[in-house]
């Protein structure tokens, strides 16, 4: 070891050992796996990363083959006659020990020739300098790196006075840069005056190429007889091949094997290097998982400082400072405080809303509905929450309105792919809530093909809502009077509609579990399926029949032109009141005229008055719709007209029951058609 220390020499030797050790640590830090699998990754104390190697099959090509000499203890790697100190994959450089040229004989002497033409190396022009030492010295370096290159410097001194340690500016020592990419060179040393002026001070001249900063001039080096035995560190640039990154990427010979590697331009200007991408370390020339691996920056606080919370990420890391963490903590605390306050207010609002809904539900008779459903079951009837109906009608959008009258507005909605008609009352008598619920429950139990099915209700709102099945064909009023566009209507169709309505009313009056008086039969309350099957709806004015088969109303409800005059006078709603209203609808079907005309003298404004008067004066033909008159069914028309006149008689006792009406219509519909050309007076 003392012999090695003597050869390297003094402070230069100590700096070389320390610097080499640091670079060795850097090389080791570049990744645990640096050599090919199964290949040695060290020669003595020096790491040997691929593409370099010391054994066959362990290096890229012969230019990267290093000779590991085991005659030394520990073993030492050599590239030619240069002892390798360190290899850097990142910068593409190799550090080695270089010989010193000397001339102690006088005259001109050529020493130290290097030739790297057949290798992947050249001497680094940025990391090395040419240095000459002596008091009678002229030193030249002649090299080539594709072009010829010559440089040199002159050093004089006659005494040690005026010379400074650490200064190499021509007084005992001189330095000059070398050409970049130099691959071959030789050093020539001339003794200018045969040391005649400096024999006592300096008898030898020296020259060498060394890494910049690794030699520091000391005056005693001029008369150190063993200075020429030292070796100086020199830096060699290396690269892979001769192609650029653009030329070699995606080609079979591309040596950047790791998935986290990238191609970079080589410092020597020829070929390329491979580096790990940012945030990764290791050997980019090896295939994964032996190649570039993620750096856990949080485990290297000296290199990646983080004053706070550190979290490793693939290829990077995240650092949150203590101040930021404190700010985030305060922010999160404030957020949760606001969130808690919001949820508290939301909960209080929801609680108040539930209380209001419950109060409205109870006020509108909801408890009676619950009791009934609990005791008897509801079948298809259910109580809808307001949210479902809002969703079904897009929050009761005006575009969803299909009918609107003074008492209620009807919306079309859809729930679970089922079309609904939702009736929203415009006003409601709280005093009738119990009676309303009883009637609603009774109507909900009606299951007849000619009655619109009541599916449910919503009672948790200020004005109750009813949910019905949706009938797509519009109502009879629109069908007769052109609300849907005037279309031809045969007598058979009109009689079929009348029979459907009569059958529905017969069921309500005679066969329902509790007889029901509708109270508002009119063409607008008769809905039509697409095949003209009629269904009655709107039981707003309806009443459940009492034991005496009559109901006294505090307020007469119904529609002008359809209301029974006896009901108006006595306020007693009976089944014969529905018979009268049905008679008006029957007249409307025969004449295709509205029940009330708002122009003309008093009696002429009422369709019923005109019709019965014409029938009594044998002028019925003038009242009937010309379309059915021309069809020639005169016998059936006469019988239907007579039935209509019976229904609208002023004396209730003389009116038929709806069961009688239904049977009469059935008989009329079965009467054979009269021969064409028969006349009706």
SS (H, E, C) 570-611: HCEEEHHHHHHHHHHHHHHHHHCCCCECCCCCCHHHEHHHHH
Q: Where are the beta strands (DSSP E) in 395-447?
A: 401-404, 408-415, 418-425
In a domain, 368, yes or no: no
Domain that holds residue 26: 2-238
Question: Collapsing DSSP states into helix, strand and coil, what is residue 504?
Answer: helix
In a domain, 303, yes or no: no
Do residues 74 and 45 make contact, with C-beta atoms less than 8 angstroms apart?
yes
Do residues 143 and 182 make contact, with C-beta atoms less than 8 angstroms apart?
yes
Query: Would you place residue 2 in the very low, low, confident or very high pLDDT band (cuts 50, 70, 90)?
Result: very low
Which CATH number is 559's domain given? 1.10.510.10
As annotated, the active-site residues are 520
- pLDDT at residue 32, rounded to an integer: 61
- pLDDT at residue 30, rounded to an integer: 42
More confident residue, 18 or 53: 53
- pLDDT at residue 78, rounded to an integer: 95
- pLDDT at residue 8, rounded to an integer: 41
Residue 23 pLDDT greater than 50, yes or no: no
Helix segments in 445-509, DSSP class H: 476-481, 491-506
- pLDDT at residue 675, rounded to an integer: 57
- pLDDT at residue 676, rounded to an integer: 52
Question: Collapsing DSSP states into helix, strand and coil, what is residue 431?
Answer: helix
Q: Where are the beta strands (DSSP E) in 228-284?
A: 231-238, 261-265, 272-276, 280-281
More confident residue, 368 or 304: 304
In a domain, 32, yes or no: yes
For residues 440 and 542, give the distance between their C-alpha atoms in angstroms, rounded to a whole number. Answer: 10
Please provide the size of the chain in residues: 681
For residues 24 and 20, give the distance between their C-alpha atoms in angstroms, rounded to a whole number. Answer: 6
pLDDT per residue as tens digits for the range 628-681: 988 777 888 999 999 999 999 999 999 999 999 999 999 998 877 655 555 554
* Domain termination residue (choose one: 238, 264, 279): 238
Question: Collapsing DSSP states into helix, strand and coil, what is residue 480?
Answer: helix
The mean per-residue pLDDT over the stretch 151-173 comes to 88
How far, CA to CA in Å, does 409 sit from each of 389, 404, 406, 568? 14, 4, 8, 26
Q: Where are the beta strands (DSSP E) in 134-183?
A: 136-144, 148-156, 173-177
Query: Would you place residue 553 in the very low, low, confident or very high pLDDT band (cuts 50, 70, 90)?
Result: low
Q: Is 118 left (phi over 0), alpha (psi -120 to 50) or beta?
A: alpha
pLDDT per residue as tens digits for the range 493-516: 999 999 999 999 999 999 888 889
DSSP 640: H
pLDDT per residue as tens digits for the range 376-429: 766 778 899 999 999 999 999 999 998 876 678 999 999 988 999 999 888 877
More confident residue, 253 or 547: 253
Instruction: Report the 10 Å Cβ neighbour count for 670.
Output: 8
Question: Which residue in this structure is represented by tokens 């009918």?
Answer: 403
For residues 244 and 269, give the distance between their C-alpha atoms in angstroms, rounded to a whole number. Answer: 9
Residue 24 pLDDT greater than 50, yes or no: no
For residues 587 and 585, give the distance between their C-alpha atoms in angstroms, rounded to a whole number. Answer: 5
Percent of the chain with pLDDT over 70: 90
Residue 274 pLDDT greater than 70, yes or no: yes
Highest mean pLDDT pick, 85-94, 162-171, 189-198, 602-611 = 85-94
* Domain termination residue (choose one: 238, 268, 289): 238
Question: Which pair of structure tokens corresponds to residue 286?
Answer: 């090896």
Question: Collapsing DSSP states into helix, strand and coil, what is residue 261?
Answer: strand
- pLDDT at residue 31, rounded to an integer: 45
- pLDDT at residue 601, rounded to an integer: 67
- pLDDT at residue 542, rounded to an integer: 79
- pLDDT at residue 282, rounded to an integer: 93
Residue 520 pLDDT greater than 80, yes or no: yes
The mean per-residue pLDDT over the stretch 354-369 comes to 87
* Domain termination residue (choose one: 238, 258, 293): 238
- pLDDT at residue 674, rounded to an integer: 59
Question: Which residue in this structure is represented by tokens 């609904």?
Answer: 420
- pLDDT at residue 403, rounded to an integer: 82
The mean per-residue pLDDT over the stretch 116-122 comes to 89
The total of structural domains in the chain comes to 2
- pLDDT at residue 14, rounded to an integer: 40
- pLDDT at residue 25, rounded to an integer: 38
Do residues 219 and 165 make contact, with C-beta atoms less than 8 angstroms apart?
yes
Look over the chain and give the mean of its residue pLDDT values, rounded to a whole number.
Answer: 86
Do residues 438 and 544 make contact, with C-beta atoms less than 8 angstroms apart?
yes
More confident residue, 231 or 601: 231
In a domain, 280, yes or no: no
In a domain, 264, yes or no: no
Question: Collapsing DSSP states into helix, strand and coil, what is residue 175?
Answer: strand
In a domain, 41, yes or no: yes
In a domain, 620, yes or no: yes
- Phi–psi pair at 599, nearest 5 degrees: -130, 155
In a domain, 173, yes or no: yes
More confident residue, 211 or 631: 211
Gyration radius of the chain's alpha carbons: 56
């Amino acid at each position: 070891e003392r012999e090695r220390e003597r050869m390297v020499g003094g402070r230069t030797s100590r700096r070389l050992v320390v610097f080499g050790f640091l670079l060795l640590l850097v090389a080791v830090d570049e990744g645990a796996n640096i050599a090919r699998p199964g290949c040695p990754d060290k020669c003595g104390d020096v790491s040997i990363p691929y593409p370099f190697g010391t054994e066959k099959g362990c290096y890229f090509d012969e230019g990267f083959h290093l000779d590991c000499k085991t005659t030394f203890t520990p073993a030492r790697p050599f590239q030619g006659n240069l002892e390798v100190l360190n290899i850097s994959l990142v910068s593409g450089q190799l550090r080695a020990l270089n010989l010193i040229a000397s001339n102690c004989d006088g005259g001109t002497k050529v020493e130290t020739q290097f030739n790297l033409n057949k290798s992947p190396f050249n001497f680094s022009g940025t990391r090395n300098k040419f240095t000459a030492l002596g008091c009678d010295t002229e030193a030249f370096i002649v090299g080539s790196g594709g072009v010829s290159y010559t440089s040199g410097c002159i050093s004089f001194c006659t005494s040690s006075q005026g010379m400074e340690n650490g200064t190499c500016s021509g007084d005992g020592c001189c330095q000059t840069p070398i050409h970049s990419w130099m691959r071959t060179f030789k050093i020539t040393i001339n003794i200018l005056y045969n040391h005649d002026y400096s024999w006592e001070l300096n008898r030898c001249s020296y020259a060498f190429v060394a890494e910049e900063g690794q030699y520091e001039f000391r005056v005693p080096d001029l008369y150190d007889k063993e200075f020429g035995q030292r070796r100086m560190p020199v830096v060699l640039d290396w690269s892979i091949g001769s192609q650029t990154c653009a030329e070699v990427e995606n080609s079979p010979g591309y040596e950047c094997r790791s998935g986290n590697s990238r191609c970079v331009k080589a410092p020597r200007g020829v070929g390329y290097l491979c580096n790990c991408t940012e945030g990764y370390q290791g050997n980019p020339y090896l295939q994964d998982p032996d190649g570039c691996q993620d750096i856990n920056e949080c485990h290297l606080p000296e290199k990646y400082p983080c004053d706070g919370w550190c979290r490793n990420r693939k290829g990077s890391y995240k650092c949150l400072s203590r101040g930021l963490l404190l700010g985030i903590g305060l922010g999160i605390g404030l957020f949760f405080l606001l969130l808690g306050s919001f949820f508290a207010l939301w909960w209080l609002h929801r609680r108040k809303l539930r209380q209001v809904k419950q109060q409205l539900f109870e006020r509108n008779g909801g408890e009676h509905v619950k009791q009934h459903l609990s005791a008897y079951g509801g079948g298809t009837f259910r109580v809808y929450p307001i949210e479902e109906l809002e969703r079904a009608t897009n929050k009761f959008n005006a575009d969803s309105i299909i009918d609107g009258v003074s008492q209620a507005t009807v919306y079309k909605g859809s729930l679970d792919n089922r079309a609904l008609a939702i009736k929203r009352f415009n006003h409601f008598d709280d005093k009738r809530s119990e009676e309303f619920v009883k009637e609603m429950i009774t109507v909900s139990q009606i299951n007849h093909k000619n009655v619109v099915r009541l599916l449910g209700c919503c009672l948790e709102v200020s004005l109750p809502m009813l949910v019905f099945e949706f009938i797509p064909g519009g109502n009879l009023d629109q069908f007769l009077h052109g609300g849907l566009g005037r279309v031809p209507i045969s007598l058979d169709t009109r009689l079929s509609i009348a029979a459907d309505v009569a059958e529905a009313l017969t069921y309500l009056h005679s066969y329902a579990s509790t007889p029901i008086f509708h109270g508002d039969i009119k063409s607008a309350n008769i809905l039509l399926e697409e095949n003209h099957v009629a269904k009655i709806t709107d039981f707003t004015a309806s009443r459940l029949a009492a034991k005496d088969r009559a109901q006294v109303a505090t307020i007469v409800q119904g529609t002008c032109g359809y209301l029974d005059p006896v009901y108006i006078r006595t306020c007693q709603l009976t089944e014969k009141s529905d018979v009268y209203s049905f008679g008006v609808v029957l007249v409307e079907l025969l004449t295709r005229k509205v029940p009330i005309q708002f122009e003309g003298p008093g009696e002429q404004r009422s369709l019923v008055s005109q019709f019965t008067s014409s029938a009594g004066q044998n002028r019925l033909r003038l009242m009937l719709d010309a379309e059915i008159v021309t069809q020639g069914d005169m016998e059936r028309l006469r019988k239907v007209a007579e039935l209509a006149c019976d229904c609208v008689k002023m004396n209730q006792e003389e009116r038929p029951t709806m069961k009688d009406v239904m049977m009469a219509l059935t008989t009329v519909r079965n009467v054979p058609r009269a021969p064409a050309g028969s006349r009706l007076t």
